Amino acid sequence: MNKSALPYWLSLMVIIAASYGGWTWWRVQQFEASRAEGGIQTAGPPLKEFELTERSGKQFRSRDMLGKVWVTSFFFASCPGTCPRLNANIKYLNSLEELQDVTWVSITVDPDTDTLSVLSEYAKGFQADPERWLFCRGDLGYIKRVGKDVFSLPINWKGHNEHAVVIDKFGKVRGMYDASSRSQSKKLALLLKECLAEEAPPKDSETI
């Protein structure tokens, strides 16, 4: 081999190796994401409405939220990472006078551990108003369906993102923001004010 061409071939080999390594990494990430998601399988038609159990033991029904502005997020009580920051930001937003008519609905993705009593204690830690900040649980398979069919968010055991999903008075998803981010939480607050200012649907509406 011509010595002058040696650097060229070495560089080419490095590029090929790096490309192959990047492709392999991508395939592994895709596989892990697919495995983590569990290839969500659902039984029955997509959900439009859903029911869960609130920490108080009362039933939470999405249908009952018609005419209200509400926000849904996913978490689990033993989460050591982003959940505390997510819920700290929700606590702050919940304290704003201009957002007093917003209802916050936090849904656990670890229902086996997060019993009603665990959720109650967790809520106390954030001084959550039981009328305006709800903590809900249900069967994990059902929660996966709620995440996928209602909010278009992938959910699995102790797996979720930090999105806060805004639902308007007509029961329509209006947007979602990373509520663990202060800057996106500000945008979330602006959208909530916009939704609160809108007219509510007639009481006999079949919107949801």
Kindly report, residue by residue over 14-53, the tens digit of the pLDDT: 566 555 555 444 444 443 443 344 433 444 567 789 999 9
- 20/116 same-domain check: no
Instruction: Output the average pLDDT for the chain.
Output: 84
Say whether both 9 and 99 belong to one domain.
no
Residue ranges making up the domain that contains 135? 51-196
Please indicate, yes or no, whether residues 169 and 111 belong to a single structural domain of this protein. Answer: yes
Q: In this predicted model, what pLDDT tens digit does every residue of 51-92 receive, in sequence order?
A: 999 999 999 999 999 999 999 999 999 998 899 999 999 999
The answer as to whether 203 is a domain residue is: no
Residues contacting residue 7 through CB under 8 Å, at least 6 positions apart: none
CATH number at residue 135: 3.40.30.10
pLDDT in tens, 130-170: 999 999 999 999 999 999 999 999 898 888 889 999 999 99
* Domain tally, the chain: 2
Instruction: Give the C-alpha separation, 157 to 147, whole Å.
Output: 12
Q: Is residue 41 part of a domain?
A: no
Report the share of the chain in percent with pLDDT over 70.
Answer: 75
Amino acid sitting at position 172: K
191 pLDDT above the threshold of 80: yes
What are φ and ψ of residue 108, in 5° steps? Answer: -80, 145
| Whether residue 94 is found in the same domain as residue 23 | no
Query: How much is the pTM?
Result: 0.76
